[in-house]
């Protein structure tokens, strides 16, 4: 349709029909549906009444349901305006790749593109028009369960990976039935709740918000994302869905966003619980005034917008602007010509879990895994005849993580299946040892596990968090391994020191006690469909670990939040970490630094950084210079290395971070091979938000370093003039 045709269509709609375009309902209200939802549904209105006018639905199962929903609606809607069908596709649809936090550990934008492209094909075939992805909430507190949904604690990683996902998902033409529109979430600062407790308030300066939390959302919108979702939380006292400064001034006016704003699940209604609105009617007014176009699941708009317009509390022009944004999105998706878009039952069968998609998922799981520690245990020999596979995750199939489709775990490869494919003749003795649930104190299986460990040539100890312990609403006050897993590890490793620990979890854990006894620790996160295959290939050397931590792992929950790019203080602690110094910024009982820092990750080979050169010792405003580092594979295996470039601004008008990642590059080197990795450093990368909330750079000395957080090396300086 042309713009004029869209406006003519809207001009012929009744007030009720226009309001209906801003209403999103759950598919289960209109068709039998078994999928989970993540919040309380709004007031249930007659399904047939809503079906005539509603603009979108979420949470359906497959192409058949997508078509049935569209057919039922179009038969009832006199204007024949197609539905928008939306779904959370966070890390794959049927073929799941690793959780976003794990994908961040790959530091590989191209790999993210491959995974998103795979998810796009499966989603389009399912009938999805809009995916609620990417989630780019910068998160620095692992107590928050939704840290698994973000790529990193570092805004740069979130921005680059989020933008890559948007481009791969939406393609160049949204009307192409194989492309899907992206909804960026959760705007803004949702990843910084007080005490790491989900949905909790966020209170921070505008400068911190702009410096750390807004850049990734902006990068995704610049990449073309068509929708954005306000966050549940109150930001500086105002819930985001009603925050006029955030939604109107920053999003619409400063950034020029012209797409669709959709509330999170029931967020408009929750303005009442926040104490921001006296009732649902007032909540609807506040959300509309803040520019929220679609009310997800609450029906606040449907129940009250007509009255608010009749009373003059909301203008019909404001309503029309929101409706037109929704109609434009439907038009851009080509729904008026093809309301089914890409929904195709036969294509579903062809692409779901196909070999090509499984290969991508396996490779992503391998490159997202982080080798935290290795005292010569890994890789295990493929000549072993008897291995003990111990731990509550030894036989577990629930390894795909939160926000995967119901039943997706059934398609996941287990560790025994992965090992069996590589070592079909090896005897695998399996014992759970203990449970992994919080508060589980049943250690009756530990003795059997210890006995199995003693009799084996090597032990694989599979530990972690149950799938349901990380994700939305899954905040934790303690971050150690749940249950008796640490005790199991002590006993098993004492019985057989040739033990490799493999971790499955959705957040950085406190591994201080485990690190003391475990000779090797491989962090797999929730790896997705090909979990067991990737795990086995890594353990036995068919794949070489190359992941780097996208969020540091604390020594204690008492350190949290613990950002790597922290600010210095007027009394920084001198001397070795962990040694308390009176009247300095330190703990009496522990070091300041994490157990494993941001950017840490080992390999089965070794890399040496031989030189760092700058193309000049000065940079002009608006200019750039080249930083070139020489990297050599000094080991005996081919491997991949993430070359990280950090910047420090020692003197500025506001306190600056002690270290800040400004670029990264992943390279692959054969044994003995050397490569020069060149980075272009621009004046824009030196900018920061000053006290007056102006994005500026200031003349002075700057330092560039390689290495990883808290372990920088090869530092060179230049002056911005």
Active site residues: 264
Report yes or no: 459 and 496 within 8 Å, Cβ to Cβ: yes
Report yes or no: 333 and 341 within 8 Å, Cβ to Cβ: yes
C-alpha to C-alpha distance for 152 and 158, rounded to whole angstroms: 6
C-alpha to C-alpha distance for 97 and 106, rounded to whole angstroms: 12
C-alpha to C-alpha distance for 687 and 570, rounded to whole angstroms: 23
Report yes or no: 59 and 331 within 8 Å, Cβ to Cβ: no
Q: Which tokens in the block code for residue 127?
A: 């009938």
Which candidate, 714, 428, 375, 372, places its Cα nearest to that of 547? 372
Report yes or no: 614 and 704 within 8 Å, Cβ to Cβ: yes
Which candidate, 641, 643, 639, places its Cα nearest to that of 707? 643
Report yes or no: 285 and 308 within 8 Å, Cβ to Cβ: yes
Which candidate, 240, 224, 135, 114, places its Cα nearest to that of 180? 224
Helix (H, G, I), strand (E, B) or coil at 608: strand
C-alpha to C-alpha distance for 607 and 671, rounded to whole angstroms: 10
What phi and psi values does residue 603 have, to the nearest 5 degrees? -140, 170
Q: Is 215 exposed, middle or buried (0-12, 13-18, 19+ CB in 10 A)?
A: middle
* Pairing of β 618-619 and β 711-720: parallel
Report yes or no: 399 and 526 within 8 Å, Cβ to Cβ: yes
């Amino acid at each position: 349709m042309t713009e004029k045709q869209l406006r003519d269509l809207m001009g012929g709609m009744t007030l009720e029909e226009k309001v209906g375009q801003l209403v999103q309902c759950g598919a289960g209200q209109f068709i039998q549906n078994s999928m989970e939802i993540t919040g309380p549904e709004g007031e249930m209105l007659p399904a047939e009444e809503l079906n005539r006018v509603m603009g979108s639905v979420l949470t359906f199962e497959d192409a058949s349901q997508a078509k049935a929903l569209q057919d039922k609606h179009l038969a009832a809607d006199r204007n024949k305006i197609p539905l928008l069908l939306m779904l959370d596709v966070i890390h794959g649809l049927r073929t799941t790749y690793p959780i976003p936090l794990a994908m961040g550990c790959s530091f590989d934008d191209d790999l993210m593109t491959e995974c998103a492209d795979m998810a796009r094909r499966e989603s389009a075939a399912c009938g999805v028009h809009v995916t609620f992805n990417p989630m780019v909430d910068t998160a620095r507190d692992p107590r928050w369960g939704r840290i698994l949904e973000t790529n990193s604690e570092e805004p740069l990683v979130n921005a680059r990976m989020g933008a890559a996902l948007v481009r791969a998902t939406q393609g160049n033409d949204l009307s192409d039935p194989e492309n899907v529109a992206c909804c960026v979430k959760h705007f803004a600062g949702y990843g910084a709740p007080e005490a790491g407790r989900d949905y909790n308030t966020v209170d921070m300066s505008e400068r911190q918000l702009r410096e750390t939390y807004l850049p990734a959302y902006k990068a995704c919108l610049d990449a073309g994302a068509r929708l954005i979702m306000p966050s549940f939380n109150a930001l500086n006292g105002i819930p985001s869905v009603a925050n006029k400064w955030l939604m109107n001034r920053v999003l619409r006016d400063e950034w020029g966003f012209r797409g669709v704003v959709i509330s999170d699940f029931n967020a408009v209604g929750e303005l009442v619980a926040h104490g921001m609105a006296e009732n649902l009617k007032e909540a609807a007014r506040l959300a509309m005034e803040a520019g929220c176009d679609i009310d997800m699941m609450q029906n606040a708009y449907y129940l009250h917008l007509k009255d608010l317009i009749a009373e003059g509390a909301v203008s019909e022009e404001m309503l029309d602007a929101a409706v037109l944004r929704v109609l434009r999105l439907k038009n851009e998706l080509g729904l008026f010509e093809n309301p089914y878009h890409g929904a195709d039952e036969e294509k579903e069968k062809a692409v779901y879990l196909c070999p090509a998609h499984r290969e991508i998922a396996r490779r992503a799981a391998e490159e997202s895994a982080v080798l935290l520690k290795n005292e010569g245990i890994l890789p295990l020999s493929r000549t072993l005849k008897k291995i003990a596979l111990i731990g509550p995750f030894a036989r577990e199939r629930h390894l795909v993580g939160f926000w995967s489709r119901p039943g997706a775990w059934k398609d996941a490869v287990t560790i025994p299946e992965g090992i069996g494919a590589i070592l079909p003749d090896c005897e695998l003795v399996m014992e759970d040892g203990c449970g992994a649930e919080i508060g589980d104190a049943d250690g009756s299986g530990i003795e059997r596990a210890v006995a199995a460990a003693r009799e084996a040539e090597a032990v694989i100890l599979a530990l972690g968090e149950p799938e349901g312990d990380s994700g939305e609403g899954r905040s934790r006050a303690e971050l150690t391994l749940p249950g008796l897993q640490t005790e199991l590890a002590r006993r098993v490793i004492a019985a057989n020191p040739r033990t490799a620990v493999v971790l499955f979890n959705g957040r950085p854990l406190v591994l201080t006690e485990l690190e003391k006894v475990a000779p090797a620790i491989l962090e797999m996160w929730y790896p997705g469909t090909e979990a067991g295959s990737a795990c086995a290939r890594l353990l036995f050397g068919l794949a070489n670990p190359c992941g780097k931590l996208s969020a540091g792992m604390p020594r204690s929950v008492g350190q949290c939040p613990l950002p790597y790019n922290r600010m210095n203080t007027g009394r920084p602690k001198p001397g070795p970490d962990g040694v308390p110094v009176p009247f300095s910024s330190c703990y009496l009982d522990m070091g300041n630094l994490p157990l494993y820092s941001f950017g840490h990750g080992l390999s089965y080979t070794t890399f040496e950084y031989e030189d760092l050169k700058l193309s000049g010792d000065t940079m002009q405003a608006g200019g750039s210079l080249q930083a070139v580092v020489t990297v050599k594979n000094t080991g005996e295996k081919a491997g991949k290395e993430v070359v990280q470039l950090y910047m420090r601004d020692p003197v500025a008008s506001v306190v600056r971070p002690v270290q800040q990642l400004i670029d990264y590059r992943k390279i692959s080197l054969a044994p003995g091979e050397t490569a020069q990795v060149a980075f272009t450093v621009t004046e824009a990368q030196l900018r920061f938000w000053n006290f007056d909330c102006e994005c500026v750079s200031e003349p002075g000395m700057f330092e560039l370093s390689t290495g990883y957080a808290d372990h920088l090396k090869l530092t060179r300086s230049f002056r911005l003039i």
